[in-house]
Amino acid sequence: MLIESAFSMLPEFVAGFGFQKVKREANATANFSFSLLNALHAKNILDPIQKIQMEHSYQTSKVPLPATGANRHCDIFLDYGGSKIGTKALENYGWRYRNFVEAKFLKYYKKTKSGQDTTVSKNSAEVIADLLRLVALVPEPQAYLNAPVAKTATARYFLVLSDNNPSIFINKHLKDLHAEFKNPTHTSNIHIDLSTKKASKLSENTGTNFKNIDFLIERTKCFVHYPLDENSPNAIWMLLLRIDAAKITLNTPRGAIWFRIKDNREIEQSRPDAYKDIRDFIATNIK
| Residue 97 included in any domain | yes
Calculate the alpha carbon distances from 230 to 18, 115, 179, 181 in Å: 22, 15, 18, 15
Residue (of 190, 247, 191, 185) closest to 222 by Cα position: 185
- H or E segment at 280? helix 274-285
Establish if 137 belongs to a structural domain: yes
Tell me the pTM: 0.95
Coil, strand or helix at 219: strand
Position 6 in a domain: yes
Specify whether the CB–CB gap between 124 and 133 falls below 8 A.
no
Q: Quick: pLDDT tens for 102-120.
A: 999 999 888 888 889 999 9
Domain limits at 47?
2-193+218-244
Exposure string over 240-260, b if 16+ CB within 10 A, otherwise e? bbbbbbbbbbbeeeeeebbbb
Number of structural domains (the chain) is 1
Residue 261 located in a structural domain: no
Residue 286 in domain: no
Nearest of 264, 231, 232, 229 to residue 245 by alpha carbon = 264
3-state secondary structure 151-167: ECCEEEEEEEEECCCHH
pLDDT at 18: 58
In a domain, 96, yes or no: yes
| Contact criterion met (CB below 8 Å) for 157 and 102 | yes
How far is it, in rounded angstroms, from Cα 214 to Cα 251? 8
Tell me, what's the pLDDT at 203? 95
Q: Is residue 8 assigned to a domain?
A: yes
Residue 36's alpha-carbon distances to 77, 85, 224, 241, in angstroms, are 11, 16, 16, 16
Structural domain contains residue 63: yes
Per-residue confidence (pLDDT) for residue 19, from 0 to 100: 60
* Segments of the chain scoring below 50 in pLDDT: none
Per-residue pLDDT at 137: 98
Question: By three-state DSSP, how is residue 203 classified?
Answer: helix
pLDDT at 83: 74
Q: Long-range contacts of range 62-71, CB-CB < 8 Å, 24 or more positions apart?
A: 62/139, 62/141, 62/144, 63/139, 63/140, 63/141, 63/144, 65/137, 65/279, 65/280, 65/283, 66/280, 66/283, 66/284, 68/283, 68/284, 69/280, 69/282, 69/283, 69/284, 69/285, 69/286, 70/283
Question: What's the one-letter identity of residue 219?
Answer: R
- Residue 121 confidence (pLDDT): 94
